Chains A and B, each alone.
Chain A
Amino acid sequence: MTGLAATEPAGNSGALPKLGLRFAIGYVAIAGALFSIYGFPFELFGARSDWLAGYLRMYASLAGSALKLFESGIVVTGDRIDGRFSLQIVRNCDAIEVNILFASAILAFPAPWLRRLFALAGGLLLLVCANIARICLLYYVGVHRPNWFATAHEEILPLVLIALTALSFLGWARYLTRPAHARVAPVVAS
């Protein structure tokens, strides 16, 4: 392993730095900690309700607000969105896996902390927006092509989100390795 240092300036060549063992260990540790918190089986210890319920209600409210931009008659009740098609926001509808994978990669990345935090905020915002768009798209798939819903929900859109996350990371990684005088925040790799 070559360690954390970039082998050449990424901003000039378009190449990513070679990320070494420290990055890999940091990445696995952060992702492991975040996934452990998210996936911890609190019910085995007597917890009665899902501690994420409030967060999921907020997500439903966000997605419902986005859908209301396109049509009236959308009603959000708790974690349910009702309209011409009904959706329920449950665990993993929040696309937590891509958020954790992205956040861990940025936090473990060898770059100044201020830049990392900026990349983290920008990247997570992008992923939340993408996930809201995914939920809206699923709503319209449910309305117009209900028999395509399962395929879109379970096979196509998760792949799109993962691809977007990977591209977003590549883009932000280039921003993180760019010389200080040339800071421009990218959205995806170019």
Chain B
Amino acid sequence: MTRQRLLGFLCAFAGVFAGFALMHGPGPYYSKVHAALGNAIVGQSALASGVTLHFEASDAELAKEPWRVTLHVDPPGPRPAVLVPIDVRTLLYLPTAAFLALAVAVRLRSPREHLQLIAIGLLILEPLLVLLVSLPLLSFLGGTGPIQAFMLNRPTHVLLQILYRALVVPPGMAYAVPLFLWWLLLMAMNRNGTQNSPARNTSLLDGPV
């Protein structure tokens, strides 16, 4: 990996990532899609505790906060709903943008390999990020929040909190997760490539050979 090649990769990454990061237009659509995804996951019926969950990204809210989805936690009876704001830009969009930028910037053998990397990566990354976002929500609804939607035992809370604090809270992990995924997929692609031709492609950031 030469210095020039590394610099080229970093510049390409920075350019593509900046392009995604500066695009604020897709925010409301992105939020609405993820609100719909959230609703599809939680369903419409009440939980055993009587608590109902509903994700919302209304036009009025999106006009103020284009990247925000709000989880409405409605307890049974007269108690008021608890609203949990979720910043989908930081938690979902930017990690995805970082992965796409890495996948575009890296030099591969063909455009087809780029598309393969992007397709497989997004298929893994999106559910993974949604799962990571759900960790604090599960803990919150399982007893650490003001409304208990279901019961979780203490070891589960501990596990959820550790995963949340390790993988979701630190701002750098929003980029570390896509970086690891990208790296793993590249290694897998390299391995497949070297199985066909053992002398090829020994360096992660090396270009077409």
Contacts and interface: CB of A to CB of B under 8 A. Distances in A.
Contact of A154 (B98, B171, B173): B171
A41 B162 contact: yes
Given A7-B202, A44-B154, A162 B162 contact: no
A111 interface: no
Q: Is the interface of B mostly helix, strand, loop or mixed?
A: helix
Interface in B153-204: 154, 157-158, 161-167, 169-176, 179, 202-204
B94 interface: yes
Specify which of B17, B98, B154, B171 lies most central, judged by the most chain A CB atoms within 10 Å of its CB: B171
A83 B90 CA distance: 29
Contacts of B158: 40-41, 44
A98 B2 CA distance: 25
B81 interface: no
A151 to B, nearest CB: 9
A16 B179 contact: no
A40 B162 contact: yes
B6 interface: yes
B1 A98 contact: no
A97 B173 contact: yes
Q: How large is the interface on A (under 10, 10 to 19, 20 to 34, 35 or more residues)?
A: 35 or more
A158 B6 contact: no
A189 B165 contact: no
A115 to B, nearest CB: 21
Contacts of B167: 35
A79 to B, nearest CB: 17
Contacts of A184: none
B175 A159 contact: yes
B112 interface: no
Contacts, number: 87
A158 B2 contact: no
Given A13-B202, A162-B175, A41 B1 contact: no
Contacts of A155: 21, 90, 94
Contact of A98 (B17, B157, B172, B204): B172
B166 A39 contact: yes
A92 B162 contact: no
B141 interface: no
Nearest to B184: A24
Interface in A84-110: 91-92, 95-98, 101
A82 to B, nearest CB: 23
B172 A158 contact: yes
B202 A97 contact: no
Contacts of B203: 13-16
Contact of B10 (A36, A97, A163): A163
Contacts of A68: none
Specify which of B10, B98, B161 lies most central, judged by the most chain A CB atoms within 10 Å of its CB: B161
Contacts of B204: 16
Given A14-B2, A158-B174, A92 B169 contact: yes
B155 to A, nearest CB: 10
Contact of B165 (A16, A39, A95, A170): A39
Contacts of A13: 202-203
A7 B199 CA distance: 10
Contact of A41 (B6, B17, B161, B206): B161
Contacts of A161: 172
Given A13-B203, A44-B154, A92-B170, 8 more contacts: A16-B204, A35-B167, A36-B166, A38-B165, A39-B161, A158-B170, A162-B179, A189-B1
5 contacts: A35-B167, A36-B162, A91-B165, A159-B17, A159-B172
